[in-house]
Amino acid sequence: MQGLEHELKNPPPQKLVVEGVSKQFKIRRNIVQALDNVSLQVREGEFVCLVGPSGCGKSTLLNIIAGLEKPDTGQVLADGQPVTGPNRMRLMMFQESALFPWLDVLGNLMFSLNLKPNLSRKERREVAKFYLHLVGLEKFAHANIHELSGGMKQRAALARSLAPNPAVLLMDEPFAALDALTREQLYGDIQRIWEQRRKTIVFVTHNVREAACLGDRVVLFSPSPGRIREQFTIDLPRPRDINSVALAEHTTKITRALKRYLPGAATEVAE
């Protein structure tokens, strides 16, 4: 009982804490306020989607969480420690796969495992093969990158991001360039992998339906300047079908909220 009381008085820290983050950029002679006093908490193992139209600062926030950019004011804490730069425990997956064309698929994964120098080459190979199996690419381990389809490249990029075992996976519109059918297949893949590995994921998108399909929570941004306006809990069981009626109800609710802040922008973000 005493231990329980201690836990209640001293709850474990959030995996990520964004505290009052603001960021400006100078574009020619103009100052653009990308983020304005943004605060957000992300729990261990939570899948959080940041949604909003282009220019709302969601990718800027992701870069700040990754340590690739510094805020003008405020701070980001990861496991209670200030983020001061990039760290292998917070890895980024971009819209483009960014795979090395001179390495085969297995070689790309093994290269990412250089972040873990304690592993021998044999161990790196075994880990790489495990994650290729996880994303369904074990038969393509020795394929050249140019031989892969767009969806397969993104699967390989996902496996490469997961292989070093980061605590937090940051995903910046990783499916935006793919066709609708391939995206739907990857929605199923990433939900399956998330349920197996329970990584903390922060996922940026401008597609409301995609956000509702993937996220435990959808965080709604508005631009000029970028601010968090509302947050929505998605309590649907997994795996979720992006075309389901239940999901459409959540999508409609979020899109209506967005319209209140951004008249005229709903067509772009709802897709």
Q: How confident is the model at residue 52 (pLDDT cuts 50, 70, 90)?
A: confident
The strand pair at 16-27 and 73-78 is best described as: antiparallel
Structure tokens at 251: 């999508």
Q: What percent of the chain has pLDDT over 70?
A: 92
Using one digit for the tens of pLDDT, what is the confidence trace for 109-127? 999 888 777 888 888 899 9
In which domain, by residue range, is 36 found? 13-89+202-271
State the pLDDT at residue 10: 58
Secondary structure E strands in the chain: 16-27, 30-42, 47-51, 73-78, 81-82, 90-93, 168-172, 200-205, 217-222, 227-233
Cα-atom radius of gyration of the chain, to the nearest Å? 19
Instruction: Summarize the confidence of residues 253-271 as an average pLDDT.
Output: 67
Amino acid at 61: L
Please report whether residue 158 resides in a domain: no
pTM (predicted TM-score): 0.88
Give yes or no for residue 4 having a pLDDT over 60: no
Q: How far apart are CA 93 and CA 4, in angstroms?
A: 38
String of DSSP letters for 46-73:
-EEEEE--TTSSHHHHHHHHHTSS--SE
Please report whether residue 54 resides in a domain: yes
CATH number at residue 242: 3.40.50.300
Chain centre distance of CA 189:
14
Please report whether residue 136 resides in a domain: no
Instruction: Summarize the confidence of residues 179-197 as an average pLDDT.
Output: 89
Instruction: Summarize the confidence of residues 165-169 as an average pLDDT.
Output: 92
Phi, psi of 190 (to 5 degrees): -70, -30
Q: How far apart are CA 163 and CA 224, in angstroms?
A: 37
State the pLDDT at residue 264: 54
Nearest to 91 by CA among 160, 173, 36, 5: 160
Please report whether residue 103 resides in a domain: no
> How many other C-beta atoms are found inside a 10 Å radius of the C-beta of residue 195?
11
Please report whether residue 217 resides in a domain: yes
Please report whether residue 167 resides in a domain: no
CA triplet 254, 259, 262: central angle to 5 degrees?
A: 120
Amino acid at 138: E
State the pLDDT at residue 9: 52
Give yes or no for residue 213 having a pLDDT over 50: yes
Please report whether residue 3 resides in a domain: no
Q: How confident is the model at residue 11 (pLDDT cuts 50, 70, 90)?
A: low
Q: Provide the number of structural domains found in the chain.
A: 1
Please report whether residue 139 resides in a domain: no
